[in-house]
A and B are shown apart, each in its own frame.
Chain A
Amino acid sequence: MTGTAAPAALAAHATLAASAPGAISAPPIEYSQLGPMLVVFGAAIVGVLVEAFAPRPARRGTQLALSLGGLAAAFVWTVVIAASRQVFANGSPGHTAIGGAVGVDRPTLFIQGTIVVLAFISVLLIGDTRFSPFVAQAAAPPGATAEQEGLAAGAMHTEIFPLTLFAVGGMMLFPAANDLLTMFVALEVLSLPLYLLCGLARRRRLLSHEAAMKYFLLGAFSSAFFLFGIAMLYGFSGSVSLAAIASTAASNTSNSTLLFAGIALTGLGLLFKIGAVPFHSWKPDVYQGAPTPVTALMASCTVVSAFGALLRVFYVAFGNLTWDWRPALWVIAVLTMVVGAVIAITQTDVKRLLAYSSIAHAGFVLTGVLAVSTAGLSSALFYLVAYGFTTVGAFAVITLVRDPGGEADHLSRWAGLGRRSPVVAGIFAFFLLAFAGIPLTSGFTGKFAVFQAAIASGETALVIVGVLSSAIAAFFYVRVIVLMFFSDPVPDGPEVVLPNVFSGTAVGVGAAVTLLLGIAPQPVLSLASHAANQLFVG
């Protein structure tokens, strides 16, 4: 509901930005270039209307069709823009729409396309209602009569679909935002629906509430830091546009306190969203407590989007200050890789395990970011695609392994799964091997690309740490595989349900892309390097 204001608020921002004393001219609004985001936000708003006026039985189908249709249309539109000769005429790196508020360039379009596809798969998981992971009556306390009645009637909060679309729209805007105000609004538009979605799990509701509260309080805390960083940068340069900050930083060296405080605080806000150590503590709790389809959405789309924004801010606004922020980010990347890999070893919950693995992977992508080159950017983009699809597939498998009371999250329940259900266990093992970066999976290609880019930029020490922590990480992935295939099955172990068309598609697409990017990565690699060729538009 709160997100409804976002697209119009942006338009209002453009209106206000032009309202300085003197001449007021309407800023150009390139609707055709903003199409993908407008479609997603529009579908979300229509979704709210469906909630308001459609009869209850018709809601779920309508919402599902609307969400999937909106995301598919957004993807097609993104491809059309990327192929457009008008935007990229005469070798132009791209265009900034709405008077410089939103950047339309190749890396952004690549990121947006990735987000939309991953969101599409996540929505498939969300729409799988056979064992709906979402609460029937969010307002009813756990165990109350109202909740029991809702469960019995098969009720479901179909508001989940518009909320997801608002979050996805925010995720698409976040890496595209070319000024920090738009970026802050996008950050909130993507975060606020996610806070709510985290708290909507049907089973283990206290856990889910707790995840929502932790995510909310820490997220609000970190976005306050992000905002204060924006204030510092505004104080430094008198503008929140990334390009203006970059040009002031190049010419003005007097007020560097404000500049460095700004870099540190905005960086903190962005690193929190990607879950880099030491700003990672929310990630395991939230991933474990949230409903699994929402975890899939967060683990794939949010990470991709936040990395897009991080790349844009650090490459465009702070691109001339590489020597100032690189050492700090270097330390964070090392910490992220090592801490993520080491703590994952002690985990006993499969969702928590994947959360720590996601932290370690954030460190690997940071290695690509630290290369500060077109090769670094393109390898980071490729890594995000590879990791996103593998993650969505892995979480889709988790929704299939069930106990009577819900998903079988505890690793001990997974013992001997390979004997009871070799196909599902085999696919999950394949995803784990991809996380570990074994050859013939997308994970290997991705790791190879980021490490290569980092070495080319002289970050050999970082790569050594990366390879070592990959080895540590491989240990716990292989441990899970051994547990699944070489342990005795637990008596009355979890049931593996057959995937239906929704979860089947999610698992299938995840596995197919993981395999394809492992054995024939060239098309996507060249697409990523084509996208990264001219960096972001300033």
Chain B
Amino acid sequence: MSPVHYVALSVILFMIGGVGVLVRRNAIVVFMCVELMLNACNLAFVAFARVHDNLDGQVIAFFVMVVAAAEVVVGLAILMAIYRARRSASVDDASLLKY
């Protein structure tokens, strides 16, 4: 298994996440797909750290994890506010703002 395989896997995971964001309708699932994309980035960083034989990539992965956690908290707070107001977490129901 050369590191290139891991990079390929990270691209695949990133694409699965990206497609998920575009096609899924539940805001929480959309959000989980974004997290999948961030973790795909982490995999790429760690694989490249191996390729270049330096630690930068691993350190970046730490930062990405922390940022992702902060993002989860902010996102869930917004989703909770919406859910309390509307009793729904579907992105299709959020359609007051148009043109």
Contact = CB atoms under 8 A, between A and B. Distances in A.
A–B contact with Cβ pairs below 8 Å: the answer is yes
A interface, how many residues as a size bin?
35 or more
A273 to B, nearest CB: 15
B55 A206 contact: no
Contact of B37 (A196, A211, A212, A228): A228
A139 B60 CA distance: 34
Contacts of B82: 209-210, 212-213
A280 interface: no
Interface string B14-53: 1001100100000100110010011011001101100110
Given A217-B91, A238-B54, A240-B56, A209 B63 contact: no
A234 B63 CA distance: 15
A213 B74 CA distance: 10
Contacts of B37: 221, 224-225, 227-228
Contact of B60 (A20, A181, A207): A181
Interface residues of B, number: 50
A506 interface: no
B86 A238 contact: no
Contacts of A211: 97
A206 B97 CA distance: 10
Interface centre among A142, A195, A210 (most CB of B within 10 A): A210
Nearest to B64: A227
A235 B63 CA distance: 17
B55 A142 contact: no
Given A16-B59, A209-B81, A5 B66 contact: yes
Interface of A: 2-3, 5, 9, 13, 16-17, 19-21, 138-139, 141-142, 181, 184-185, 188, 192, 195-196, 199, 205-207, 209-214, 216-217, 220-221, 224-225, 227-228, 230-232, 234-235, 238-240, 284-285, 288-289, 346-347
Given A19-B55, A192-B71, A234-B52, 8 more contacts: A9-B63, A21-B55, A196-B78, A206-B86, A210-B94, A227-B37, A231-B41, A285-B97
Interface of B: 7, 10, 14, 17-18, 21, 27, 30-31, 34, 37-38, 40-41, 44-45, 47-48, 51-52, 54-57, 59-60, 62-64, 66-67, 70-71, 73-75, 77-79, 81-82, 84-86, 91, 94-97, 99
